[in-house]
Amino acid sequence: MTERVTRLHPEFLAEIRWAINELKKTHRGGLRDDRLPGEKTAEDIVVKTPEGGIDARDGTTVSSALCLLYKEVNGSSNTKTLTPIEVNSTHQTIRVWNFSNEAVAGDSYVVTSRTKSGTRYVVVESCEPEPEE
């Protein structure tokens, strides 16, 4: 019997990878965590902040907000489109924390990453010096 090879659309494959990575988070890394060569790390995702943004850190107290999840879809050779991640026609959200001493603007697309403990945070570099204590 001849094996049948099925090709998956890259966008659909990206959604499958995203779903697998979300499942891995719920199993605390208990699932296989190998990545394919050249595959983007599963830790980085793009979100859109809510209208009110995310407040700045105040000393050691950090703020968070529920943000909308987006995926990158390849366009032409030099463009990408940010497309909402939806399940059953519902735009998915995720809680994102801001460790910076500057607020994150509302309705902004930002890259996020995840700490080893699983906290999703905004990847920003403050241009302002830390206040002296």
Residue 73, in any domain of the structure? yes
Residue 127, in any domain of the structure? no
User: What is the b/e burial string over 106-131, where b = at least 16 CB atoms within 10 angstroms of the residue's CB?
Assistant: eeeebebebeeeeebbbebeeeeeee
Domain count, the chain: 1
Q: Report the pLDDT value the prediction gives residue 117, as an integer from 0 to 100.
A: 82
Residue 1, in any domain of the structure? no
Residue 11, in any domain of the structure? no
Range of the domain at 83: 38-122
pLDDT band at 28 (very low <50, low <70, confident <90, very high): low
Residues 64-122: tens digit of each pLDDT: 999 999 988 887 788 888 889 888 888 989 999 999 989 999 999 999 988 888 888 99
Residue 68, in any domain of the structure? yes
Going by C-alpha positions, the residue among 113, 99, 118, 103 that lies closest to residue 60 is 99
Residue 104, in any domain of the structure? yes
- Backbone φ, ψ for residue 80 (5° rounding): -135, 155
Q: Taking the C-alpha atoms of 77, 38, 35 and 29 in order, what is their torsion angle to the nearest 10 degrees? A: -80
Residue 4, in any domain of the structure? no
Q: What is the reported pTM?
A: 0.62
Say what percent of the chain tops pLDDT 70. 72
